[in-house]
Amino acid sequence: MIKQRIKASMLLAAILLALLYMPTGLARADNGPHGSYTALTDACAGCHRAHTATAARLLIDSVPNLCYSCHGSIGTGADTNVVDGIYLERDAVDENPDEGVTSRGLKGGGFVNATMDTNYDGSSAPAAVTSNHLSDGSTGTAWGNGAIGSGPGATISLSCISCHDPHGRAGTGGVATYRLLRAFPIGSGAGSGVNVTDQNTKYYVVSDPDNQYYGENYATRTAPLSNWCAQCHTRYSAGTGSGSTNSGDPIFTYRHMTTAAGSSGPACLNCHVAHGSAATMGTYSGAVAWPDGATIPNSNNRSSLLRVDNRGVCELCHMK
């Protein structure tokens, strides 16, 4: 009995000693720029108010306005202007708000404007987007969402936080992910999450100096990003031979193969951008009906987040 008490006392002493020497500032560190969340973090006050919040989740503003306060055209605190799809040179902007915008476009394009060489003439200028993903919480159709034969797709609400977790560690198991992408996009109905591994050094802009988006390299993240997109656009994920094999779906019957399905085909981001595109459409491209059969909006509004005007993404790959 005495020996048991001695052993218990020694174990307790060891635990207390370990606690004593634990660092007091342990960080529940995320992989993003929004704070390290140490025991004495100041980051929370950037976005939240405990008793005087004006938006749900105790936020100081609603999404996307809160996001745009840093990531918008007049934002302070972030170099990535997702509204206009450009990268800001922060030092120059601090000195003169009218200066400091680089010519390099963001990888995802922009929600309102984008700087893209969509006509492949070797130059680019800011232009209004012709198509974009929703970011304001409004509802739209996630084309191809759901099982074979389940219609054109589910209607979901989409905002910045549907895809991104501002606190980071957004992957399954709390792992860091690329661009703070949630393993399970909110509203996707996905049954299993997709972790897209983070970059140690972040690269936010396209590599081409003329802002030609086609051919942008995502390296080892190419296939995982397609798998991630397919959580909402389920039936756009198609394997080798799917262009000649009837899927059984009355709408998405024959489908271009994608890397998401494990084939060697192109990935979603080979043809499309994530946020918004300034691509323009010609007579044929602009008249393609939507999956539900609707013919409006049409013309340039039918650009479908493409990286090149008309069906340039097809020609640049197939070279017919």
Beta pairing partners, 109 = 276
Rounded to whole angstroms, how far apart are CA atoms 97 and 163? Answer: 30
Residue 18 has pLDDT above 70, yes or no: no
Q: What is the pLDDT of residue 101?
A: 52
Q: What is the pLDDT of residue 146?
A: 97
Could you give the residue ranges of the DSSP H alpha helices within the chain?
Answer: 2-20, 65-71, 90-95, 160-163, 222-229, 268-271, 312-318
Residue 306 has pLDDT above 90, yes or no: yes
Beta pairing partners, 139 = 157
Q: What is the pLDDT of residue 24?
A: 35
187-241 residue pLDDT tens: 999 988 999 999 988 899 999 999 999 999 999 999 999 999 999 999 999 999 9
Rounded to whole angstroms, how far apart are CA atoms 267 and 144? Answer: 16
Q: What is the pLDDT of residue 261?
A: 81
252-303 residue pLDDT tens: 999 999 998 877 789 999 999 999 999 999 999 999 999 999 999 999 999 9
Q: Are 86 and 104 in contact (CB under 8 A)?
A: yes
Rounded to whole angstroms, how far apart are CA atoms 187 and 205? Answer: 28
